Amino acid sequence: MSNVLLEMSMSLDGYVTGPNVTPEEPMGRGRERQHATKRRNRCVDYEPGR
């Protein structure tokens, strides 16, 4: 019997992308904040797996 699995990155406040998803920022706003402060776990810090 095969199972259906979900595994994904999520912010501590429960989001899988930031707000305002655009073609330029496919994961929404927040990735830039991660780059600005790399050592911190930001509210949104998802890296797309591509």
Nearest-CA neighbor of 10 among 40, 46, 50? 46
Closest to another protein by CB, 19 vs 26, is: 19
Give the CA-trace dihedral at 32, 48, 40, 30, to 10 degrees: 30
Burial class (CB in 10 A: 0-12, 13-18, 19+), 18: buried
Q: According to the binding rule CB under 8 A, does residue 9 interact with another protein? A: no
Q: According to the binding rule CB under 8 A, does residue 7 interact with another protein? A: no
Q: In the complex, what is the shortest distance from the CB of residue 11 to another protein, in angstroms, rounded to a whole number?
A: 8
Q: According to the binding rule CB under 8 A, does residue 35 interact with another protein? A: no
Instruction: Please report, as ranges, the residues that interact with another protein according to CB under 8 A.
Output: 12-15, 37, 39-44
